[in-house]
Amino acid sequence: MKCLVTGASSGIGRDISRYLSNLGHEVILVSSNKEKLNVLKKELFNSKVYVCDLSNQSEVNKFLNFILKEKPEVVINNAGFGAFGFYDEVSLKREEDMINVNVISLHKITRTCLRYMEGENNFILNVSSSAGLMPGGPMMSAYYATKSYVRSYSLGIYKELKIKKNKTHISVLCPGPVNTNFNKVAGGTFSVKALSSEYVAKYAVDNMFRGKTLIVPGFSMKLGVFFSRFLPSKLLLSILFKIQHNKR
């Protein structure tokens, strides 16, 4: 199968690309970091590189034409980043770039793929976060909002595909803390134990191919998400603020 992975230069995206390649699939590696993509390309059996800054919508629109030409059967919308700080500490430009990458580009890519995907051998995996399962995230408010969008949009599309009898599988991945360079980019540190990106990548791909819709790696994260449903939103927001504040 031909697979496309955004945010493939590091972290979960890199390890998903490695795992898909090890399974024998062709992988199209997408990121703004050409140097890292080329290093990864040399490591993989059958891959190609497409350099694209997903915060730049003119570049994204050209990328969409590339997708329609290549028609990958598996698309992993993994690219994304966060920004840590109070609402008046994070620049508006930083938040705009985040929304472009985490929401608008993911939305466009998903819509574009659904123009040609119809069969049961087509898969879309949109990477959200455990943040997308929460009511909000003080000190990472914009990031939590983008990941909530990804989860909600993906689940809505899942139902629409069922109604239209389109056999394309769409899944949404909601991992908790993962050992990647996410914290370095966001400007904080995890205050709880993180899973390895290799584990999350394999877990995500395996469950995607099984047709699972909502994918939450790790027993402790599943447990946390389950019990969070029973807490009042204001109490949960207070707990989340303490967790985020400890990242300073």
pLDDT above 70 covers a percentage of the chain that reads 93
DSSP symbol at 105: I
19: helix, coil or strand? helix
Q: Residue 241: what pLDDT?
A: 79
Looking from the CA of 58 toward its CB, the CA atoms found within 13 Å total 0
Give the pLDDT band (50/70/90) at residue 212.
very high
Domains and CATH numbers, the chain: 2-245 (3.40.50.720)
Model's pTM, two decimal places? 0.90
Overall average pLDDT of the 110-120 stretch: 96
Kindly list the strands in the beta sheet with 26-31, ordered across the sheet, starting from the edge strand earlier in the chain.
Answer: 47-51, 26-31, 2-6, 74-77, 123-127, 169-173, 214-215
Q: Is residue 159 predicted with pLDDT exceeding 90?
A: yes
Most confidently modeled range among 12-21, 177-186, 189-198, 223-232? 12-21
Indicate if the pLDDT at residue 223 is higher than 80.
no
- List residues bridging with 214 in a β-sheet: 172
Instruction: Grade residue 136 by pLDDT with cuts at 50, 70 and 90.
Output: confident
- Average the pLDDT over 203-231 and give the result: 86
| Ramachandran sector of residue 49 (left: φ over 0; alpha: ψ -120 to 50; beta: rest) | beta
The tens digit of pLDDT for each residue in 17-34 reads 999 999 999 999 999 999
221 confidence band (pLDDT: 50, 70, 90): confident
- The pLDDT-based confidence of 190 (bands split at 50, 70, 90) is very low
Of 161-165, 168-172, 231-235, the least confident: 231-235
The residue with greater pLDDT, 50 or 132, is: 50
Q: pLDDT grade, residue 186 (50/70/90)?
A: very low
Q: Return the pLDDT at 219.
A: 79
- Please write the tens of the pLDDT for every residue from 84-113: 999 999 999 999 999 999 999 999 999 999
